[in-house]
Chains A and B, each alone.
Chain A
């Protein structure tokens, strides 16, 4: 069974500093995808970044980058130059491998999340 572990329940960072949110995963699939979502206090889920298991380059999207270490089974999210608006819950999620069984559905397994607070 697939599993996502986020070991940091909460983090506090000064504005403009960089922050790394940890995510480790466990899967027996050779092909899988890793996602990060942001959930502000308003409750919606916002997609941030995606990394495929066969992608050779680490994914980047603006101030977000994903430090993907396949051998260590980690997919940490790095936010550069943090802003007050980055304060939110952050979830790491994994999509099971592509197969006929999944019929093209993108079923996700989520970690428990990390609450990030940016201090002015």
Chain B
């Protein structure tokens, strides 16, 4: 199993350009997440999808959109990139559990620089 995969690994954009970060998982997880990690900081939740067909905002959703394409794939789109969106982006997935907790499995991250 590949686990959680993300593409691309690195990307440089100019201010105002758009791009989509791709994420896929092969662990049959229902829930998927997008986080960003700024230098010297912890991860902050951008958007999440509790199950296929649903998406919801996290702590820092402004400037982003998401699409839960199917159970495996969850993409993050920057419509008009800004320098403040320079960050490392992590995708994660987990089992959907109503009554208990489970760990999240993280992808390797995408390092995005906006000039």
Residues of A within 8 A of B (CB): 4, 33, 35, 43-45, 47, 50, 52, 91, 93, 95, 98, 102-113
Residue in chain A with minimal CB distance to B103 = A47
**Beta-carbon contact of A111 and B42 below 8 Å:** yes
Q: Is the CB of A104 within 8 A of B45?
A: no
Residues of B within 8 A of A (CB): 30-31, 33, 40-45, 48-51, 54, 56, 58-59, 88, 90, 92, 94, 96-106, 108-109
Task: Return the contact of A104 from the options B31, B42, B106 (Cβ within 8 A).
Answer: B31
- A104–B101 CB distance below 8 A: no
For residue A33, which residues in chain B have a CB less than 8 angstroms away from its CB? 101
- Cα distance A47–B105 when bound, in Å? 8
Candidates A44, A45, A106; contact of B94 at CB < 8 Å = A106
Pick the residue among B54, B97, B108 that contacts A106 (CB under 8 A).
B97
Q: Are B108 and A113 in contact (CB under 8 A)?
A: no
